[in-house]
Amino acid sequence: MAHFADDRVVPASADDPLQLAAQLHETQEQLAATSEILAVLSTSATAPDDVFDAIVGRAKRLFDADAAQIQVVEGGEFLLVRSAGTTREYVDVVTRRRPSARTRATLVGRVALDRAPQQIADVLADPEYSGSDYQREGGFRTIMGVPMMVDDDVVGVLSVWRRTVSPFDEQDEAVLLTFAAQAALAVRTVELVRAVQDGGQLLARKVDQLEALAEVGKAISSTLDPDEVLGTIVLHAVELSAADGGSLMEYDEESGLFRVRTAYGTAEDTLTALKGTRIHIDETLVGSAATSGTPIQVPDLASVERDPHLKVLHDAGWRSLVAIPLTHSARTVGVLVVRRKSTGAFTGETCDMLSAFASQSAVALVNARLYRELEQQRAELAVTSQHKSEFLASMSHELRTPLNAVIGFSEVLLERMFGELNERQEDYLRDILGAGRHLLELLNDVLDLSKVEAGRMELEPTTFPVLDAVHPVLALLRERAAQHHITLQLEVGPDLPHVTADQLRLKQVLLNLVGNAVKFTPDGGTVTVAVARSRDELTVTVADTGMGIAPDDQERIFDSFQQGTRSASASEGTGLGLTLTRRIVELHGGRVWLTSEPGLGSTFGFSLPQPQAVTAHDGAGWSRAALDDARPTVVVIEDDPSSSELVGVHLTAAGLRPVPVRSGEEGLAAVRDLRPSAVVLDIRLPGMDGWDVLGELKADPELARTPVVVVSVLPDSRRGFALGASDYLVKPVAGEVLLGAVWRAVAEHDHVLGGGRRTLVAIDDDPLALELVRATLEPQGWRVVTYTRGSDALQSIALSAPSVVLVDLRMPDTDGFEVIEALRADPRTNAVPVVVLTAKTLTTEDRARLQGRIEFVASKSQLDLGLLAQRLARVARRGTAAEATP
């Protein structure tokens, strides 16, 4: 490998897009300034030849000389640049045989050596003079020269001669010196101009490079298609290094092989050959570059020993290349190869530039790998999830079949279809029936819960009078309550209009809570159900006069199969009811709570956020009082009630506060009054249409910055964007697409206005997990900061006060438990909400350690990223709401 020129370069830091942008800007400004200087110079002091012409012409005349000439030093020799009174033959000789600047044999040599004026009264009489060929052509006898000095250097000599022996006097010498000074000035100007020009070109090149880097950076951050990013990188690398082609290879640590991911300027069959070539790290040039961590170039492929990779290239007509190693976190991830069809070395500057690309490429390669793994994981997850639901469906079917007989025959007998029963028979039959129904209930809860866990429970929200859900549930339980002499009472607020929720699920929640209350209240007690509706929330509480729940059990009771100490007296529940209740309420965007005094009873409560019904007559509907809410407000301008409701339900569930209005005029009024974070706008509206609304919003300087997401049946996105819409969605719109657009708009708006963006600090030693979290949350407007070590994260959390901390439990060095303990011990961080994301199955001991310190635990083994995002948003919201409350 001795042939390979080793060209070590220092890679520029190019993986920080902000830094890159700043650098680009600075360089562009330098370039602009330089261009101005150039312009000034070129109009004023300029063409040096004109100056030289003037000087030699004037010198010849002034000193009554036969000739005058200016020679400048270049590479230790004198170059004749201008002369007067000379023949063409003389000029040819002096141009061809340049006099040396380091000899006393010529006049100019002496001037250069002595840095002082020199005169030879008669060259033919001077024993040291040996410029006989010049002399023969020029025919001079007396010659005088003075140095042209720039700083302390002799840059040239101005000389005059006579063909007769007739020495110049001292005054001649002094005047000639002033002429030489002018000539020197001209030389200096030329040098300056050239330097500035060179600098300008350098800067221009630098701008090109930075622009290319910025473009690559943009590609990396704006597309999820890794091949597109890699393609962009190779394209720019090749173009900027004035090469003919290139390729990007990915390194596979396991096999030690490089695989060509993408190429540019490469024939199809060559690419196929490259892809089929075994490129091993120990056997190839690219491998050597990777191992050494420095670029290696081959100026002439024909003259080196060729490994299989180089052979393919050489056979395809490539003649030179440079291989730049790509490393990420001190590990080889690939190699960038740039090649030419001609021989020759790549300059150091080119290598520097390519090294800057290398860091970008490494990031892109790592991302590409992560996305691939992500895709694979998603596919596996989908299969697993599919298997799981198939299993659940068939399990449900198989259990239901025998239960049908158990329950049915018990009922047949209890209905006395076939005769009277004695007391004991009836008693046992009721036991069989009770056990059968219990099993059925358990089965139903398991199915529901697994649907929630798999993110498959879909709400079917409708708007209905809230008592439609409450009354049937109470009717169902009234009999049981009466048997135990329990008073079942309902307290309703004065104004109970409609509620928007999944009616079936709301009934399920009510049945569970009220059923529990009846079950755990001793005979003669009271169960009170209270229903109240505030402007944007439905609140239901169920209070009993039971034995209460010990503080230690109050959180645990919502976990599966936990009934607290009350299970001692009654074991009829499935142990899943409260878990399911909480999940269903959370799916609606609400929350569940419990207050209890042991011995006095318990109160379970839940709330469901409600889209606000604002009508034309309800002008006060969006009064500022309604804004005592940390959620970002979104005004929804939509005349179709069902569409509006659907949008409202999605926005509410995602932690936003929708304010629905039915017309453009109302919409404008609402936007002026509420200053929402975003507007969702329909186009076909009665009266003023959506285009007019959009136009008016954007024309008002105070409202123009409010992002508008257009949702319309009209596919006219160009018009929408032209009028300033942030996004344009064509109906029907999937919920998550809508949410993505609205969240982006809200994040952008809040960011622009300097409002706090939701920040999540994620700590996990697995970079893939971090990438998953980032990929999920960033599109929803989160700022995600990741750490692979718990100890590194603590300081940052204390200083930045993020909205939520997401932490893995099992990590080397500081584990998740320690991180949580440290956070809770520090007064600056003890209130930061913490969510645990772990693959670990929690032991009782683990739960005890986490008790009261975290929001919830999400399991990696059954991770639903969408659901996790929703729950995190809810946690973040609660955090800000809590801060806002005095």
Partner 1 sequence: MSGARVLLVEDNERNLKLARDVLEFAGFAVTVATSGEEAVTEATRALPDLVLMDLQLPGISGQAALARLREEPRTAAIPVVALTAFAMRSDREQALSSGFDGYLEKPISVRDFPDQVRSHLRPSVRGSP
Chain residues that interact with partner 1, rule: CB under 8 A: 393, 396-398, 400-409, 411-412, 415, 417, 436, 440, 444, 447
What order of strands is seen across the sheet that includes strand 759-763?
783-787, 759-763, 804-807, 834-838, 856-859
Interatomic CA distance for residues 211 and 173, integer angstroms: 56
Residue 250 CB, nearest approach to partner 1 (Å) = 43
Looking at beta carbons only, is 458 or 552 nearer to partner 1?
458
Closer CB to partner 1, residue 95 or residue 404? 404
248 bridge partner residues: 262, 336
Instruction: Between 28 and 396, name the residue whose CB sits nearer to partner 1.
Output: 396
Which of 408/852 has CB closer to partner 1? 408
Query: Beta strands 601-609 and 591-597: pairing type?
Result: antiparallel
**Residue for token digits 């007067």?**
84
Rounded to a whole number of angstroms, the minimum distance from the CB of residue 584 to partner 1 is 14
- Name the residue nearer to partner 1 (CB basis): 316 or 399: 399
Nearer to partner 1, 439 or 714 (CB): 439
Instruction: State the DSSP H helix or E strand holding residue 730, giving kind and residue range, or none if neither.
Output: strand 727-730
In the complex with partner 1, the residue whose CB is nearer, 125 or 405, is: 405
Amino acid identity of residue 431, one-letter, is D
| Identity of the residue, 456 or 847, whose beta carbon is nearer to partner 1 in the bound complex | 456
For the CB of residue 444, give the shortest distance to partner 1 in the complex, in Å. Answer: 8
Min dist. Cβ of residue 445 to partner 1 (A): 12
CB of 420 to partner 1, least distance (A): 15
Is the sign of the CA dihedral 740, 746, 749, 754 positive or negative?
Answer: negative
Closest to partner 1 by CB, 459 vs 730, is: 459
Q: Tokens at residue 257, please? A: 């092989």
Q: Are strands 462-465 and 498-501 parallel, antiparallel or unpaired?
A: antiparallel
Work out how close the CB of 398 gets to partner 1 at its nearest, in angstroms, rounded to a whole number: 8
Tell me the closest approach of the beta carbon of residue 508 to partner 1, in angstroms.
13
Nearer to partner 1 (CB atom), residue 53 or residue 441: 441
Distances, alpha carbon 80 to alpha carbons 92, 104, 130, in Å: 10, 18, 18
Strands 657-661 and 320-328: unpaired
Q: Whose Cβ is closer to partner 1: residue 446's or residue 614's?
A: 446
Question: Which CB atom, from 440 or from 492, has the smaller least distance to partner 1?
Answer: 440
What would you measure as the largest C-alpha separation in the chain, in angstroms? 158
Q: How far is the CB of 409 from partner 1 (least distance, A)?
A: 6
As measured in angstroms, the least distance from the Cβ of 475 to partner 1 is 16
H/E stretch holding 31: helix 17-43
- C-alpha R_g of the chain: 42
Bridge-partner residues for 245, per DSSP? 339
Contact 485, 524 (CB under 8 A): yes
Among residues 461 and 720, whose Cβ is nearest to partner 1? 461
**What is the DSSP pairing of strand 142-150 with strand 118-120?**
antiparallel
Q: Is 794 helix (H, G, I), strand (E, B) or coil?
A: helix
Q: Are 543 and 517 in contact (CB under 8 A)?
A: yes
Looking from the CA of 275 toward its CB, the CA atoms found within 13 Å total 10
Q: How far is the CB of 407 from partner 1 (least distance, A)?
A: 4
Alpha-carbon gap, residue 243 to 288, rounded angstroms: 22
| Non-local CB neighbours of 24 within 8 Å, separated by 6+ positions | 207, 210, 211, 213, 214
Q: State in angstroms the smallest separation of the CB of 401 from partner 1.
A: 5
Q: Report the residue number, 396 or 859, with the smaller CB distance to partner 1.
A: 396
Taking the complex as a whole, how short is the minimal distance between the CB of residue 410 and partner 1, in angstroms? 8
Q: Can you state the angle between helices 865-884 and 767-777, rounded to 10 degrees?
A: 70
Start-to-end Cα distance in the chain: 73
Nearer to partner 1, 451 or 878 (CB): 451
Q: How far is the CB of 588 from partner 1 (least distance, A)?
A: 17
Q: Is the CA virtual torsion 829, 830, 835, 837 positive or negative? A: positive
The Cα–Cα gap between 683 and 48 comes to 69
| Residue placing its CB nearer to partner 1 in the complex, 448 or 682 | 448
| Contact residues for 768 (Cβ-Cβ < 8 A; gap 6+) | 370, 373, 374
If we measure between CA atoms, which residue out of 768, 817, 762 comes closest to residue 792?
762
Shortest reach from residue 446's CB to partner 1, in Å: 12
Sign of CA pseudo-dihedral 646, 647, 650, 652? negative
Could you give the dihedral angle defined by the CA atoms of residues 605, 611, 615 and 620, in that order, rounded to the nearest 10 degrees? 60
Query: Rounded to 5 degrees, what are φ and ψ at 285?
Result: -65, -45
CB of 820 to partner 1, least distance (A): 39
3-state secondary structure of 679: strand
The angle subtended at Cα 39 by Cα 35 and Cα 41, nearest 5°, is 115
Q: What is the DSSP string of 389-413?
A: HHHHHHHHHHHHHHHHHHHHHHHHH
Shortest Cβ distance from residue 458 to partner 1 (Å)? Answer: 9
Nearer to partner 1 by Cβ, of 400 and 789: the residue is 400
